[in-house]
Every structure is written in structure tokens, then in C-alpha cells.
């Protein structure tokens, strides 16, 4: 069993949704990333997504766009993110770590190089936002050859005709983007999310995690009642941004927010298997 499948199975056994958290690597500086990742774990995150900073994060809203710019302005390189992943794996051998980002940093030196770097540094999965399932050959085979899960995105516009292509070759979990828009902004109605999760789970045995627009414990609890996982990113980025502006250590605030989200999921009532 992989670290990702183990994390979702453990959450399911505890009758709760898994908490999936996102932060941008190198935000506000490469040196701060380790403590922020540790704070996510201390707060109760089941899965951690670590963003590769990129100049044109087209799927991300203003908060994560600013996080990307802070990280890049601080001199963050892909090598820094991989080093952070390796150090994280040494400190937290059980917690799954997923790299999330865009094709340019992943493919610039070749898919085989990137997949090997992921494997060598303890990365469990990769979400590449701008490589569609139909272009799997550009990255998917290299990842699978190294035992890295290629995690796919489904959206409200992923219809029954395209869904099989999205699921073909996917592993780890299926990330349901609950709104047809950018991260951190509006949130879809819980009823429509429940309908979408039911439709996706009828087509795959992969866990379905829901993200984009989840900011509060109450929102996490509501979505956790119907999904296998809840993804929170922009709200955590906001905490980091506020601390950076005030010259404070962001880690305590990150841990406090993640703890509140984890408690909400633990206290929530699951209505799906």
C-alpha cells in the first residue's frame, strides 16, 4: 500500500475525510518551508501538496499567485523544492507528499529526469495542472515507471464522455475541482458537490478529494461529509502572507488553522461510505 492509499484508508477507518493541504514551496522563503511543512503535519494534515512556484499559475487565484511571486522573488528554484521534499521525507516518513504545479518546471529537463528526482526525494504523487489526460505520454509513463502517482483533475465540465480518459492511468486520488474557475474564490453548493462526487465514485475506486474555494472549518466539514478528502490551500496561504507582511513566523498560525480544519473533519458526520 502506498503512502497516499494508506492515508486515505486510515481516514476512512476513522470515518472522516482526509485533510489535504497545499502550500507553495519557498513562500515566503526557501528557509521557511521546512517549518511550515512541519506545522501542517502537527496540525493534522493527512496529505501535503507542495507547490512548485511558477510565473504563470493560470489555475490559481490571487493568493496563490502572490505566493508564487514571493517564492520566486526569494530565489526559490526547483532544486530547493526537491531538497525540501527530501528533508521532509526524512522527518516524516509516513506522511504523503505531492508536488503540484505546471509543466514547464516539470518537463524542462525531461520527464524521466523529473520522475527520477521525485522518486529520489521521497515524493509520492504529482499534479501537473496544464498537462491534460490526453497528453499523458508527456509525463505519465515516466512517473508510473518510478512508482509516482499521477494525480488527475476532474472539473464540473468533465462530462461522461471525457471522464474515462481522465481516469485512465490516474492513481493516488482524484482531485475534483469544485468550481469552473480559479483557486480560493467562490465555492460550489454542497449539493452539487455531492452529486459530482457520487458520479465520479461510480466511475472509479480512487478516493475523491474536493478542493478550490474551501476556506473554513464549516466548509471543510460540509464537504468532508460527502467526499473522501478536502483540499485547502488559499486560506493557509493567507495566513503565511499575513505573517510575512508583519515579520512573524508563519508556522504557528498555519498549525492553528490546520488544527481547526482537522477537528472539523474529525467531528463531522460522514454520509458516504
**Cβ contacts of 263 within 8 Å, gap of 6 or more:** 44, 217
**Is 80 an active-site residue?**
no
* Beta strand ranges found along the chain (DSSP E): 18-24, 47-51, 97-101, 125-128, 149-150, 152-154, 174-177, 208-211, 229-232
Cβ 129 vs Cβ 135: under 8 Å: no
Beta bridge partners of 23: 50
Burial class (CB in 10 A: 0-12, 13-18, 19+), 221: buried
End-to-end CA distance of the chain: 20
Catalytic residue among 60, 80, 238, 255: 60
3-class state of residue 101 by DSSP: strand
**C-alpha to C-alpha distances, 180 to 26, 156, 175, nearest whole angstrom:** 28, 6, 13
φ and ψ of 176, to 5 deg: -95, 115
Residue located via cell numbers 481516469: 167
Catalytic residue among 27, 46, 49, 80: 49
**Is 218 an active-site residue?**
no
Residues known to be catalytic: 49, 60
Amino acid at each position: 500500500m502506498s503512502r497516499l492509499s494508506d492515508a486515505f484508508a486510515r481516514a476512512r477507518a476513522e470515518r472522516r475525510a482526509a485533510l489535504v493541504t497545499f502550500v507553495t514551496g519557498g513562500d515566503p522563503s526557501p528557509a521557511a518551508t521546512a517549518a511550515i511543512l512541519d506545522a501542517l503535519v502537527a496540525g493534522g494534515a493527512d496529505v501535503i501538496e507542495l507547490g512548485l512556484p511558477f510565473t504563470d499559475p493560470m489555475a490559481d487565484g490571487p493568493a496563490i499567485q502572490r505566493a508564487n511571486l514571493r517564492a520566486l522573488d526569494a530565489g526559490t528554484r526547483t532544486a530547493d523544492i526537491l531538497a525540501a521534499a527530501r528533508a521532509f521525507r526524512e522527518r516524516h516518513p509516513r506522511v504523503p507528499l505531492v508536488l503540484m504545479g505546471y509543466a514547464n518546471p516539470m518537463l524542462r529537463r525531461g520527464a524521466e529526469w523529473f520522475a527520477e528526482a521525485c522518486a529520489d526525494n521521497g515524493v509520492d504523487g504529482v499534479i501537473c495542472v496544464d498537462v491534460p489526460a490526453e497528453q499523458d505520454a508527456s509525463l505519465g509513463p515516466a512517473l508510473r515507471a518510478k512508482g509516482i502517482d499521477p494525480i488527475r483533475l476532474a472539473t464540473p465540465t468533465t462530462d461522461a464522455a471525457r471522464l474515462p480518459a481522465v481516469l485512465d492511468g490516474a492513481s493516488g486520488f482524484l482531485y475534483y475541482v469544485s468550481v469552473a474557475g480559479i483557486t480560493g474564490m467562490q465555492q460550489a453548493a454542497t449539493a452539487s458537490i455531492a452529486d459530482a462526487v457520487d458520479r465520479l465514485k461510480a466511475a472509479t475506486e480512487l478516493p475523491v478529494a474536493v478542493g478550490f474555494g474551501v476556506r473554513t472549518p464549516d466548509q471543510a466539514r460540509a464537504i468532508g461529509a460527502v467526499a473522501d478528502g478536502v483540499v485547502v490551500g488559499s486560506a493557509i496561504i493567507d495566513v503565511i502572507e499575513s505573517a510575512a507582511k508583519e515579520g512573524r513566523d508563519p508556522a504557528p498560525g498555519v498549525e492553528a488553522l490546520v488544527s481547526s480544519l482537522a477537528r472539523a473533519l474529525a467531528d463531522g458526520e460522514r454520509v458516504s461510505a
